[in-house]
Structure formats: structure tokens, C-alpha cells
Amino acid sequence: MISYKELGLVNTKEMFAKAVKGGYAIPAFNFNTMEQMQAIVQAAVETKSPVIMQVSKGARNYANGTILRNLAKGAVEYAKELGCENPEIVLHLDHGDSFEICKECIDNGFSSVMIDGSHLPYEENVALAKKVVEYAHQYDVTVEAELGVLAGVEDEVCAAESHYTKPEEVIDFATRTGCDSLAISIGTSHGAHKFTPEQCTLVNGVLVPPPLAFDILAEIEAKLPGFPIVLHGSSSVPQEEVETINQYGGALKAAIGIPEDQLRQASKSAVCKINIDSDSRLAMTAAVRKYLAENPSHFDPRQYLKPARDNMKKMYIHKIVNVLGSDNKLG
Ligand code: G3H
Ligand code: 13P
Ligand code: ZN
């Protein structure tokens, strides 16, 4: 058993309580590579922000769970080396789909896990989440569960259509499972293609998607006052990154995300964790494509991964400061 406490990581409990009270959200950035980890830590340290580094099943398959755990341990040490005396870094399992994977992560240094039973019938979702919570809480590991299904298709996370969270179920679900936070479905979805152009309205030449279901969020908040709410699928898909990718040989069509002003609005509510993965992929790919197109004779990965890392860092800082509002919230 490797406790996250030995690695210098923290769970989400205090972090979320402060975020809900303070009207901001903690960034939950997915990472698969060392460069993403470095960019996340640099951004969190420079902005004095708590941060959640999350690992999907796909990330574990790609990079190996042991390596990712040691990257997270390295993240804590790196943050200190960069001058942050007491970094608040969570290592979180994203979209755990079984008790076994959650247990394996809890036993191997994760400070938080998500059990995603959102595709199961309600009673099965409750039973699975409860089982994970009972195990996790013995080790002071926090648990995110999900009610409602997000639209969108993305590798491991797949749901053909969205079913918004039913506010009438949240009290029963939170009480019976004992979960520490609840991921809800109010119109976000995974990936870089969250809406079709037909679903959007053209405003000053920009395609604006339909708003998130803030009425459902408000009803959930009224039922569970102060309870930490999580939004998945919250990349904004910056059009300048999409344009750079397409300018340098990419072929991304109709990539549309969640407008940042809506995420800012959500951050001021009980939403205290906002998941962002696709925007990091776009920032990395745009920088790599541009660099290689402009320097066709270069072949040292450090040459193109450095601008990729810098571009991700810029994006993370922007999210923290201008969208989620988690800057200067350490301590
Ligand atoms: O929610 C999904 C995340 O973007 C992780 O995606 O399973 O392709 O790593 P992945
Ligand atoms: P995006 O695809 O919008 O970045 O969502 C990521 C996510 O929800 C990870 O769990
Ligand atoms: Zn997700």
C-alpha cells in the first residue's frame, strides 16, 4: 500500500469546501506525459493555485500507472523546487469504471478517485459508488461519483446521447453513496466536437452553442446546498488553436467547445471542479504542427516539445486566472 500522503499529495475535501465558499473552481487537468505534468505544475505554482492532476484509463494504458504516479510525486517535488512551499496537488483517477480499478489506484498513491457508474441503472450506480466510497474513506481518499450521462464520444468515455442529471435524484444519491462530490450532466460533453454548427447561433461571425442548463444546476444546488459539484467535458476549444492546427496541415472540422463565460458563471456556483483535457491536446498539437512546419529539418523532440509545453502552460494559466478563478487560493 502506497499512501498518497507519503507522496505529498492531498485529497479534495478542504480544497472543495473552500472553492464552494469562495465562488471559484479547482482546475482538473488530464495528463499523459511529462510535458503536460511540467506545464500543469509551472502554471499552478506561478498562479498560486491548487490543482487536480487526473489520469484516465487511457492515460494508464498509454503511460503506465506506476510512471504516472511517480510523475505526480515528482510534481510535488518540482512545485517545491519552483518555490511553492506547500503545493496542493491532487492525484485523481478520472472515469474509473470498476471497483477494482478504483481500489488499485487507492492502493497505489491516488488521493482521489472517480467511480463512473453513470451508464448503469440507478440502483447499480448507487451500489457501486457506495462500495468504492466505503473502501476509499478508510484511507482518507475522496470519491467523485456521477449522475446523468454526458453526450459525446471520446475513446474510453462514450455516450451517444446526453441525459441531464435529474435534480430529484441527487439527495438520495449523495446520501446513500456517501460520495464527496458529484459530477452532473447539464449540457457539456467530452472531446473537441461538442456541438454541430447547426446547434449553434452565429453571433458576430462566431458560432455560439446553446447555453448550459443553469436552471438544472440551480435546482441541484438548492437540493444539496454547499455540496461540491463537478463539470466534465469543459474544454472551450480555442478557435485560434484549431486554426493553427488547420493552417499547418491539420483537418479539424467544426470543433466547438463550451464558451468560457459560461464556465466562469458555473465556477461561481457550487461547481468546484472543472475538467479540461481537449484544450491541452489542442494547445500541444497546434504548437508541434507549427514548429515542425516552420523547421522541417529539425528532428530532436525537445525542440518541438518545448513550445508545446509553453503553449499548454499559457492555456492552463489562462484557465486558472481568467476562467476558474483559482489563482492565489493556496493555504
Ligand atoms: O474524459 C475523458 C478524458 O478526456 C480522458 O480521455 O480516455 O482519451 O484519456 P482518454
Ligand atoms: P474535455 O474533453 O472537454 O476536455 O473534457 C475532459 C474531461 O471531462 C475529463 O474527464
Ligand atoms: Zn470526463
Name the grid cell of 5: 500522503
Pocket of ligand 2 (CB under 6 A): 30, 94-95, 190-191, 232-235, 275-279
CA 127 to chain centroid, in Å, comes to 25
Q: What is the pLDDT of residue 152?
A: 61
**Nearest protein Cα to ligand 1, atom 5:** 56
State which of 92, 94, 97, 190 you would mutate to test the pocket of ligand 1, scoring each by most atoms of that ligand within 8 A of its C-beta.
94
Q: What's the CA dihedral at 196, 197, 199, 204 to 10 degrees?
A: 150
Task: Give the atom of ligand 1 at the shortest distance from the alpha carbon of 277.
Answer: 4
Q: Which of 29, 54, 97, 157 to mutate to test the pocket of ligand 1 (most atoms within 8 A of CB)?
A: 157
* Full pLDDT tens readout for the chain, 331 residues: 999 999 999 999 999 999 999 999 999 999 999 999 999 999 999 999 999 999 999 999 999 999 999 999 999 999 999 999 999 999 999 999 999 999 999 999 999 999 999 999 999 999 999 999 999 999 999 999 999 999 764 444 444 566 999 999 999 999 999 999 999 999 999 999 999 999 999 999 889 999 999 999 999 999 999 999 999 999 999 999 999 999 999 999 999 999 999 999 999 999 999 999 999 999 999 999 999 999 999 999 999 999 999 999 999 999 999 999 999 999 9
Atom of ligand 2 lying closest to residue 95 CA: 10
- Report every protein residue that has its C-beta within 5 angstroms of ion ligand 3: 232
Q: How far is the CA of 237 from the centre of ligand 2 (A)?
A: 11
Beta bridge partners of 276: 29
- Per-residue pLDDT at 293: 98
Atom 9, ligand 2: residue with shortest CA distance: 275
DSSP 165: -
pLDDT at 272: 98
Q: What is the value of pTM for the model shown?
A: 0.96
What per-residue confidence (pLDDT) applies to 219? 98
Beta strands 201-203 and 89-96 are: unpaired
The beta strands (E) that lie in 117-234 are given as 142-147, 152-154, 157-159, 181-184, 201-203, 206-208, 229-231
**CATH fold of 4-319, please?**
TIM Barrel (3.20.20)
In the prediction, which pLDDT does 155 show? 40
Q: How many A from CA of 30 to the centre of ligand 1? A: 8
Structure confidence at residue 151 (pLDDT) = 78
Direct distance between the N- and C-terminal alpha carbons of the chain, in angstroms, rounded to an integer? 28
Q: Give yes or no: 94 in active site.
A: yes
SS3 annotation, 67-88: HHHHHHHHHHHHHHHCCCCCCC
Hey, how many other C-beta atoms are within 10 angstroms of the C-beta on 281?
A: 17
Distances (CA, A) of 280 to 39, 137, 153, 210, 233: 10, 31, 18, 23, 13
**Per-residue model confidence (pLDDT) at position 161:** 61
